[in-house]
Chain A
Amino acid sequence: MKFVRLSSPTDFEGWRQGARMALALGVDPADIEFTVGESAASLFAEPLPPAPDVGGRFTVPRAFIDLAEVLVSHRDPARFSLAYRLLFRLQAEPKLLAVASDRDVALAEAMAKAVSRDSHKMKAFVRFREVETEEGRRSIAWFEPEHHIVERVAPFFVRRFTGMSWSLLTPLLSAHWNGERLEYGPGATAEMRPRGDDMEALWLTYYASIFNPSRLKMKAMRAQMPKKYWKNMPEAALIAPLAQGAEAAREAMIATPATLPSYRHERQRERFEMARAEAPVFDPDHRPESLEEAREAARHCRACPLWEPATQTVFGEGPKAAPVMFVGEQPGDQEDLAGEPFIGPAGQVFDAALAAAGIDRAQTYVTNAVKHFKFVPRGKRRIHQKPSGGEIAACRGWLDLERSFVAPKLVVAMGATAASSVLGRTVTIRSVRSQLIDLPAGGQALVTVHPSYLLRLPDPDAKAREEALFREDMARVRQAVPEIALAA
Chain B
Amino acid sequence: MTARTLQEKLAILSDAAKYDASCASSGSVKRNSLKTKGIGSTEGSGICHAYAPDGRCISLLKILLTNFCVYDCAYCINRSSSNVERARFSVEEVVRLTMAFYRRNYVEGLFLSSGIVKSPDHTMEEMVAVVRRLRLEENFAGYIHLKAIPDASPRLIEEAGLFVDRLSVNIELPTDGAIERFAPEKKPRDIRRSMGHLRLKIEEHQGEKKDRAKPARFAPGGQSTQMIIGADGANDDAILQRSENLYGSYSLKRVYYSAFSPIPDASSRLPLAKPPLMREHRLYQADWLMRFYGFERSEIVEGSQAGMLDLSIDPKLAWALKRRERFPVDVNAADKEMLLRVPGFGTRAVERILSTRRHRRLRLDDVSRLCQSLEKVRPFIVAEDWSPGGLLDSPGLAGRLRPKEEQLSLF
State the A residues within 8 Å of B (CB): 95, 98-101, 103, 106, 120, 123-130, 139, 141, 156, 158-164, 179, 197, 199, 201-203, 205-221, 224-225, 233, 235, 239, 242-243, 246, 250, 253-254, 256-262, 264-265, 268-269, 272, 299, 308-309, 311-312, 334, 336-339, 375, 377-382
B130 within 8 A of partner (CB): no
B366 within 8 A of partner (CB): yes
List of B residues within 8 angstroms of A339 by Cβ: 193, 196
Residue of A nearest to B12 (CB): A209
Docked-complex contact A377 and B55, CB < 8 angstroms = no
B401 within 8 A of partner (CB): no
Given contacts A312-B193, A379-B247, A381-B248, whether A265 and B81 have CB atoms under 8 Å apart is yes
* For the complex of A and B, 7 pairs with smallest distance between CB atoms: A220-B55, A377-B248, A217-B55, A337-B196, A101-B366, A159-B32, A261-B81
**Cβ < 8 Å to A, chain B residues 219-259:** 244-245, 247-251, 259
CA distance A224 to B49 in the complex (A): 10
Instruction: Pick 23 A–B contacts, CB within 8 A, sort by A.
Output: A101-B367, A130-B103, A156-B41, A158-B34, A159-B33, A159-B43, A162-B33, A162-B39, A202-B7, A206-B14, A209-B14, A209-B15, A210-B52, A212-B261, A213-B54, A215-B275, A216-B54, A220-B51, A221-B52, A312-B189, A337-B196, A377-B248, A380-B247
Residue of B nearest to A213 (CB): B54
Q: Could you say which of B14, B53, B355, B411 contacts A100, with CB atoms under 8 Å apart?
A: B355
CA distance A219 to B410 in the complex (A): 9
Nearest Cβ in chain A — how far from B358, in angstroms? Answer: 7
Residue of A nearest to B63 (CB): A206
List of A residues within 8 angstroms of B267 by Cβ: 258
B57-87 Cβ-contact flags toward A at 8 Å (1 or 0): 1100110000000101000000011110000
Docked-complex contact B55 and A162, CB < 8 angstroms = no
Q: Could you say which of B248, B250, B360 contacts A379, with CB atoms under 8 Å apart?
A: B248
Docked-complex contact B355 and A336, CB < 8 angstroms = no
Q: Could you say which of B54, B101, B249, B264 contacts A377, with CB atoms under 8 Å apart?
A: B249
Nearest Cβ in chain B — how far from A164, in angstroms? Answer: 6
Nearest Cβ in chain A — how far from B171, in angstroms? Answer: 12
List of A residues within 8 angstroms of B359 by Cβ: 95, 98-99
CA distance A98 to B139 in the complex (A): 44
State the B residues within 8 Å of A (CB): 6-7, 10-12, 14-15, 17-19, 32-34, 36-41, 43, 47-58, 61-62, 70, 72, 80-83, 97, 100-101, 103-106, 139, 176, 185, 189, 192-193, 195-197, 199-200, 244-245, 247-251, 259, 261-268, 272-275, 277, 290-291, 352-353, 355-356, 358-360, 362, 365-367, 369-370, 410-411
CA distance A269 to B131 in the complex (A): 32
Chain B CB count within 10 A is highest, among A103, A130, A243, A377, for: A377
Given contacts A141-B105, A377-B248, A379-B291, whether A311 and B193 have CB atoms under 8 Å apart is yes
Docked-complex contact B47 and A253, CB < 8 angstroms = no
Nearest Cβ in chain B — how far from A226, in angstroms? Answer: 10
Nearest Cβ in chain A — how far from B267, in angstroms? Answer: 6
Docked-complex contact B189 and A299, CB < 8 angstroms = yes
CA distance A126 to B50 in the complex (A): 10
Docked-complex contact B55 and A203, CB < 8 angstroms = no
Docked-complex contact B249 and A205, CB < 8 angstroms = no
Residue of A nearest to B68 (CB): A264
Docked-complex contact B10 and A209, CB < 8 angstroms = yes
List of B residues within 8 angstroms of A103 by Cβ: 369
Docked-complex contact B249 and A382, CB < 8 angstroms = yes
Docked-complex contact B356 and A101, CB < 8 angstroms = yes
List of A residues within 8 angstroms of B39 by Cβ: 160-164
List of A residues within 8 angstroms of B411 by Cβ: 215-217
Given contacts A130-B104, A203-B104, A205-B7, whether A98 and B356 have CB atoms under 8 Å apart is yes
CA distance A321 to B251 in the complex (A): 38
Residue of A nearest to B296 (CB): A378
CA distance A339 to B193 in the complex (A): 8
CA distance A268 to B39 in the complex (A): 42
Docked-complex contact A98 and B104, CB < 8 angstroms = no
Docked-complex contact B83 and A261, CB < 8 angstroms = yes
List of A residues within 8 angstroms of B36 by Cβ: 162-163
CA distance A211 to B56 in the complex (A): 8
Docked-complex contact B105 and A127, CB < 8 angstroms = yes
Docked-complex contact A179 and B37, CB < 8 angstroms = yes
Nearest Cβ in chain A — how far from B362, in angstroms? Answer: 7
List of B residues within 8 angstroms of A259 by Cβ: 83, 265
List of B residues within 8 angstroms of A250 by Cβ: 262, 274
Q: Could you say which of B264, B355, B365, B369 contacts A98, with CB atoms under 8 Å apart?
A: B355
List of B residues within 8 angstroms of A257 by Cβ: 268
List of A residues within 8 angstroms of B34 by Cβ: 158-159, 162
List of A residues within 8 angstroms of B70 by Cβ: 268, 272
List of A residues within 8 angstroms of B62 by Cβ: 210
List of A residues within 8 angstroms of B48 by Cβ: 124, 224
CA distance A212 to B14 in the complex (A): 11
Given contacts A162-B32, A209-B10, whether A224 and B57 have CB atoms under 8 Å apart is yes
CA distance A379 to B7 in the complex (A): 44
CA distance A313 to B217 in the complex (A): 29
Docked-complex contact A217 and B33, CB < 8 angstroms = no
CA distance A363 to B17 in the complex (A): 50
User: Known contacts A309-B249, A378-B248; can you find 5 more A-B pairs with CB under 8 A?
Assistant: A126-B105, A162-B36, A207-B58, A250-B262, A272-B70
Nearest Cβ in chain B — how far from A280, in angstroms? Answer: 15
Nearest Cβ in chain B — how far from A233, in angstroms? Answer: 7
CA distance A224 to B50 in the complex (A): 9
Residue of A nearest to B31 (CB): A159
Docked-complex contact B50 and A209, CB < 8 angstroms = no
Chain B CB count within 10 A is highest, among A160, A262, A339, for: A160
Docked-complex contact A242 and B53, CB < 8 angstroms = yes
Docked-complex contact B369 and A100, CB < 8 angstroms = yes
Docked-complex contact B55 and A224, CB < 8 angstroms = yes
List of B residues within 8 angstroms of A126 by Cβ: 105
Residue of A nearest to B200 (CB): A337
CA distance A160 to B52 in the complex (A): 24
Docked-complex contact A264 and B80, CB < 8 angstroms = yes
List of B residues within 8 angstroms of A197 by Cβ: 104
